[in-house]
Structure 1
C-alpha cells in the first residue's frame, strides 16, 4: 500500500479538517448540520473524526463547481 493509499484511509480530527479546508470550526459545524459537508463519525460524545478521503472528495466537488459556474 502506498503512502497516498494509507493517508486516504485516515480518520482526522475537526481541527485537522479546518486546517485542510481553511475554514473555522463554527463554519464546519454549520456545513455539517446543513448536510453540505461530509458527516463525521462519532465514536463517543467527545471523540469525533472525519474520513480524510471524504473530505478530499468534498474539496474536489467544490473545485468542479467553481469551474462549471
Structure 2
C-alpha cells in the first residue's frame, strides 16, 4: 500500500502570506487603503499566487514596518 502524504498545515518559516483583509485588520484600515498604498508605492508589492490569489509575504510586510519605525 502506498504511503499517503499529509498536506503541510503550518507554513514554513519565511513562507507565511497575508491577504488584504488580514493586512487591513493589522493596520486598522480599509482593504482599499492597502491597495492604494501599493499603487502609490508606499507599501510592499503583493505576490500573485494565482489568477485570483494575491498575497503579501509576511517577511516583506515586517521589513516595511521596520522601515516605517526607522523613518520616525
Q: Which interval holds the TM-score relative to the shorter structure?
A: 0.7 to 0.9
Match of 1:42 in 2: 48
TM-score, normalization by structure 2 = 0.71
Q: Which has the larger radius of gyration?
A: 2
Of Structure 1 and Structure 2, the greater helix share is in 1
- SS of equivalent to 1:27: helix
Q: So what's the TM-score if we normalise by structure 1?
A: 0.74
When the two chains are superposed, the root-mean-square deviation of aligned CA atoms in Å is: 1.7
After TM superposition, which residue ranges in structure 1, 4 or more long, deviate above 6 angstroms?
none
Residue correspondences, number: 61
Structure 1 unaligned spans of 5+: none
> CA offsets per residue over residues 31-61 of structure 1, 9 Å max, x none?
1111111110112332111000000111111
